[in-house]
Amino acid sequence: MDRVEQVTIRRVMGRLMPFLGLLYLVAYIDRQNVSYAKLQMVDALGMSEAAFGLGASLFFVGYFLFEVPSNLFLHRVGAHIWFTRIIASWGLVTVALAFTPNATVFYILRFLLGVAEAGFFPGVLYLLTLWFPARYRARAVGLFMLASAVANAVGAGIGGWLLDQGGTFGLAGWQWVFLATGVPAILLAPIVFFFLPRSPASARWLDPEHKAWLAAELAEGAQGEPESPGAALRAILDRRVVLLCLVYIGFPLAAYGLSYWLPTIVRSFGVSNSVNGLLNIIPWTLVAIALWAVPRHAARVRNPIWHAAGPALIGAGLLALSVWVEGPVLRFTFLSLAAAAIFSGQPVFWTLPPRLLSGARAAAGFAAINSVGNLGGFFAQAAVPAIRDHTQSDTAPMLLLAVCLAAAGLGVVLVERTLPKAA
């Protein structure tokens, strides 16, 4: 690696990734805070586990419907404008959730939260293709997704504690969960507008030689057809993009199914809300370590695809074992290791779409894959409590997650063979 390349990548990593990670941390906490609020909110609103799970899962319906349009707007107006709109709106909806009076309003607000946040995650993935050559993207996505692990750990640490603050200023504990996690997003919105540059060419912290090197590298690695009004639609309808959409479903299904239900499983061990939150820091610490290590190792080998498929298959096995073992310690151990496996393969998966997409096609393709895949989250948060109600077992739903995750791992291997070779 020559000096210009080294300095350029270090500056881009240092400037963009911590800030994007902070935004994703806030987004993920606002998305997953419902798993802790649920421990009190179900009784407060007079809902069953299945009815609450359906409401929580409506987030993914709004997310699915508005993901592609949101990413196309981002491509047109720039991340600094569109991310400002996204983070401000999801913060406002999260705060509104603190004052949910009944199940109907809860359903509406969870749907609106999905609408508000739609486009952020795939928008960042698209943004990374404008700033990083292909050989650095898995590492960049891994660093970005570290924020989801930190978010779950932070959310676990404060979620249980906030539940125990019921009565403060006349508010219930579940109301404090939404208030304390929604306000930071609102405060960050104006910072996003002024901090994020529209493109590498407008970044004041890159010297002309660094901008020239980055532009040459990105131009050399660009794929696909020239931009045209129908390019985005053709990208979404591309057979390979459709296959990537279907394969990806298993990852969010397992991830959201586990993260949504894990506090409920831990509660069945007989611990308090605060201890529940502290214990849930453990799996997300393991996730953070895996998200750092697996993409770095994948970048060093010529055929990294098993770094996406392998963790999925391992995670499926661990989820299945968590159902059959006896005792809370072993069960929690397998679930914690499964969480690390589920998340660690995803950064490598996201290096596949840029092998056939760029520009507006990449913006649309990323959004389509992420939106369809995140329907797995809708299915998980609706199906997991329904299976629990039917079986009266807190761990039985993990078998469904295991089967879907195993299918995703095998699908990655098959779909990867249909894509152009990596640059």
Q: Map out the domains of the chain as residue ranges.
A: 7-197+231-415
| Residue 397, pLDDT above cutoff 80 | yes
Work out the average pLDDT over 205-214: 89
pTM value is: 0.72
Comparing 246 with 152, the larger pLDDT belongs to 246
Give the right CATH number for 7-197+231-415 from 3.50.50.60, 3.40.50.850, 1.20.1250.20, 3.90.226.10: 1.20.1250.20
Query: Which of the residue ranges 8-22, 66-80, 301-315 has the most confident prediction, judged by mean pLDDT?
Result: 8-22
Average pLDDT over residues 55-77: 85
The residue behind tokens 């214990």 is 279
* Dist. CA 245–CA 223, nearest whole Å: 19
Mean per-residue pLDDT, 406-411: 94
Taking the CB of residue 301, how many other CB atoms lie within 10 A of it? 10
What pLDDT is attached to residue 227?
A: 53
Give pLDDT tens digits for 222-267.
Answer: 554 455 556 667 777 888 989 999 999 999 889 888 877 788 788 8
| CA angle (386 as vertex; 383, 391 as ends), nearest 5 | 120
Structure confidence at residue 177 (pLDDT): 87
Position 276 scores a pLDDT of 79
Mean pLDDT on 299-318: 85
Instruction: State percent of the chain over pLDDT 90.
Output: 24
Average pLDDT over residues 208-228: 73
Given a cut of 80, whether residue 394 has pLDDT beyond it is no
Residue 243: predicted pLDDT? 92
Q: Is the pLDDT of residue 48 over 90?
A: no
φ/ψ of residue 394, rounded to 5: -75, -20
pLDDT (0 to 100) of residue 96: 95
Residue 302 — very low, low, confident or very high, per pLDDT cuts 50/70/90? Answer: low
Cα gap 301→307, rounded to integer Å? 10
Are 139 and 91 in contact by the 8 Å Cβ rule? The answer is no
